[in-house]
Chain A
Amino acid sequence: MANVTIRNLNKNYENGFHAVKDVNLEIRDKEFMVLVGPSGCGKTTTLRMVAGLEEITSGDIMIGKDVVNDLPPMDRNIAMVFQNYALYPHKSVYQNMAFGLQMRKYPKDEIDKRVREAADILGIQPLLERKPRQLSGGQRQRVAVGRAIVRHPEVFLFDEPLSNLDAQLRVQMRVELKRLHERLETTAIYVTHDQVEAMTLGDRVVVMKDGWVQQVGEPLELYEKPANRFVAGFIGSPAMNFVEVTISDSGGALWADAAGLRLKVPPQMVERVRAHTGKRATLGMRPEALHLASGSDHADFCFDTAVDVVEPLGNEILINFRAGGAAMVTRVDPSVRVKAHQNVRVALDPGRVHFFDETSGAAI
């Protein structure tokens, strides 16, 4: 069991591509840490550097108290699950799982014990004699996980392990992975581009973009208090609504103005937003922070618009419309009846408003 410390980690490729930029992370013992971001954000490269599959340009990686920068992968006491499983096609499931132990010269009965134990945990005992090609995607995924857990490593690394599975299986495996982590209590670093996976699996989540760490935090923290516009837009589905507004001061209150939209800056934000008076900023509103206005909503937090598209999802309805020059969506109760092109008044929950700096994108 170990924590993983990453200090000022950088990766420059020979072609000049700077894939990972000054990454600093402290992954605690037994923690499930998820790296998430769009493709090319450096998350996989970071993981591969921890694994020792990619050379470090500068910085340090520590597992426990040891700097492992120059240790070959086999000496790092880590196990990795690959996106395409990377099972040895000519070996049986049993041999696939036993290989790492054989290479480390474990006695035969110990290998057998561990393989059967792992097969038991993952429910793949009946498959032990099969070859990988005789398995379904989900079964292969389990074997790949089994190969990792027989080793009892200090750290598990997962490189998009669920992205080759169909949607239903992905949800199921997600739950199993979470359960497995609770049972094994091993530090895990998990890379994914799927923000839902990140939110549901991670004790904490690292959001990356263009090689930079954007924010590190617990899932709900990222959702409620995104550090910048990128994180705000990346986490959550449907994504946060953004409107470019101008901040103005009139009648002793601050207002956010855009074409056809004028909203009062809520009292708890006034202090922070005041510095931006007369400037442009980005107003961010989660779809559930908007609803169709009723009598109890204050006019300062309402605007009028026409419904564009209605998406009934069963448990909720998504209403798409345009306001302030931006496409927006709100998530409402399925009992609400609205039709396309209907004129509606939309109200904003003043407690759930975000403002972002126009140039830096940082949360105000």
Chain B
Amino acid sequence: MKDPVVAGAGVAASIAAPAERGRVSRLTRWLESEKLLATVLLVPGMAILLIFIAYPFVMALWYSLTSIRVGDPGEFVGIANFAKAWNDTVFQLAFKNTVFYTFWATVFKLALGMWLALLLNRSFRFKRIIRASMLLPFIIPTVLSAFAWRWMFDPTFSVMNWLLYHSGVITDRLPFLSDGDWALWCAVLVNTWRGMPFFAITLLAGLQTISPDLHEAAALDGANAWHRFWHVTWPLLLPVTLVVVVFSVIQTFSDFQLIYVLTGGGPANSTHLIATYAYQVGVASGLLGEGAALSLFMFPVLFGVVWFQLRFMKRMEGH
């Protein structure tokens, strides 16, 4: 166990200038204590986690049990905020929306991302440029791209409606964002567009670890393209797939920006996700306690997902 530490310290000492050597070697000795080094290395990360994650989380827990609002510290109300949220029809819809949005966006991202990854894994001209440019939707700030999409879906200026109308596909304008169901599907579409590259690039990395010999062996064994995918690629890609799916579920379930910019939760609160609704109640309306309670409803679901992921990773390590 001590070796890596010693080796690391040795490198540090050997690259130091001779004049500094005495001081550095004292530091080296000091750092050779594993406990001390571990503490030194852990402190910055722990501090960040404590200040920006643990503290707000504990505060949210506390707020959710009080009637705090902007300008009023409020008082302890027990689980009244949770009970209220539970019976709130908008929240019920937001919860359903979140599940719907997460489920379909993840299904599409996985299916299309897999398809894209399989395509990109072949060799073709301009492979690198195309692989790199595919990441564009992923690296453009979501707020920016969501704005662009909002204009494309705009009731009056929608370029999509214009195109479909003038090419004779439709005779009436489509209510992209002005109908609750349509708007939610639009959000799924934009989320898929934005998240697909991450799936594709991660799955592509996974694909490249699969030896081409296995596909050749399968081809000689009489497997057609579908069988090769199903019997070779898919099972070998499963660990990577599960990891990206879990990441995606966590991010999509707690998504805020995209809906906030695209629909703002409208029309008539019909496209709220838990995060946007909690924001509206807690920040926009200033009901901090109720907002905190709403947002905490995400916790059990995300906790379940993370628990599943950890369990799975442990099983993989066992292999």
A188 to B221, CA, bound (A): 17
Contact with A along B112-139 (1 / 0, CB 8 A): 0000000000000000000000000000
Q: Is A88 an interface residue (CB 8 A)?
A: yes
Interface centre among B211, B216, B222 (most CB of A within 10 A): B222
Interface centre among B217, B220, B232 (most CB of A within 10 A): B220
Contact with B along A81-118 (1 / 0, CB 8 A): 01010111110000000011001100000000000000
Contacts of A74 in B (CB 8 A): 219-224
Selected contact of A84 from candidates B213, B221, B222, B231, CB within 8 Å: B213
Q: Is A80 an interface residue (CB 8 A)?
A: yes
Q: Is B306 an interface residue (CB 8 A)?
A: no
A88 to B230, CA, bound (A): 12
Q: A90-B235, A99-B231, A103-B227 are in contact. Are A84 and B219 (CB under 8 A)?
A: no
A151 to B221, CA, bound (A): 9
Contacts of A86 in B (CB 8 A): 211, 213-214, 216-217
Q: Is B236 an interface residue (CB 8 A)?
A: yes
- Residues of A61-83 contacting chain B, CB below 8 A: 72-74, 78-80, 82
Decide if B217 touches A80 in the complex (CB within 8 Å). Answer: yes
Contacts of B319 in A (CB 8 A): 133
Contacts of A88 in B (CB 8 A): 214, 217-218, 231-232
Contacts of B227 in A (CB 8 A): 103
Q: Is A206 an interface residue (CB 8 A)?
A: no
Contact with B along A122-159 (1 / 0, CB 8 A): 00000000000100000000000001000100000000
| A340 → B minimal CB distance (Å) | 42
- For the complex, count residues of B whose C-beta is within 8 A of A: 18
Q: Is the interface of B mostly helix, strand, loop or mixed?
A: helix
Contacts of B236 in A (CB 8 A): 89-90
Selected contact of B217 from candidates A78, A82, A90, A104, CB within 8 Å: A82
Q: Is A51 an interface residue (CB 8 A)?
A: yes
- For the complex, count residues of A whose C-beta is within 8 A of B: 23
A329 to B231, CA, bound (A): 55
Residue ID in chain A nearest B220 by CB atoms: A73
Q: Is A53 an interface residue (CB 8 A)?
A: yes
Contacts of A72 in B (CB 8 A): 219
Contacts of B211 in A (CB 8 A): 84, 86
Q: A86-B211, A88-B214, A103-B227 are in contact. Are A53 and B219 (CB under 8 A)?
A: yes
Interface centre among B218, B221, B232, B319 (most CB of A within 10 A): B221
Decide if A103 touches B213 in the complex (CB within 8 Å). Answer: no
Contacts of B221 in A (CB 8 A): 74, 99-100, 103, 147, 151
Decide if B220 touches A78 in the complex (CB within 8 Å). Answer: yes
A89 to B235, CA, bound (A): 9
A307 to B217, CA, bound (A): 52
Contact with A along B13-45 (1 / 0, CB 8 A): 000000000000000000000000000000000
Decide if A80 touches B232 in the complex (CB within 8 Å). Answer: no
Decide if A73 touches B231 in the complex (CB within 8 Å). Answer: no
| B208 → A minimal CB distance (Å) | 16
Contacts of A80 in B (CB 8 A): 216-217, 220
A74 to B217, CA, bound (A): 10
A115 to B205, CA, bound (A): 35
Decide if A103 touches B222 in the complex (CB within 8 Å). Answer: yes
Decide if A79 touches B222 in the complex (CB within 8 Å). Answer: no
Residue ID in chain B nearest A95 by CB atoms: B231
Contacts of B218 in A (CB 8 A): 88, 99
Contacts of A151 in B (CB 8 A): 221
| B36 → A minimal CB distance (Å) | 39
A99 to B214, CA, bound (A): 12
Q: A74-B221, A74-B222, A74-B223 are in contact. Are A82 and B213 (CB under 8 A)?
A: yes
A147 to B222, CA, bound (A): 12
Residue ID in chain B nearest A103 by CB atoms: B222
A100 to B235, CA, bound (A): 17
Query: Can you list 26 A-B contacts with CB-CB less than 8 angstroms, sorted by A residue number?
Result: A51-B220, A52-B219, A53-B216, A53-B219, A73-B220, A74-B219, A74-B221, A74-B222, A74-B223, A78-B220, A79-B220, A80-B216, A80-B217, A80-B220, A86-B211, A86-B214, A86-B216, A87-B217, A88-B214, A89-B236, A90-B235, A90-B236, A99-B218, A100-B222, A103-B223, A147-B217
- Interface of A toward B, CB cutoff 8 Å: 51-53, 72-74, 78-80, 82, 84, 86-90, 99-100, 103-104, 133, 147, 151
- Other than the given A52-B219, A86-B217, A100-B221, 11 more pairs (CB < 8 A) read A51-B216, A52-B220, A72-B219, A74-B222, A74-B224, A86-B214, A88-B217, A88-B218, A88-B231, A99-B223, A103-B227
- Interface of B toward A, CB cutoff 8 Å: 211, 213-214, 216-224, 227, 231-232, 235-236, 319
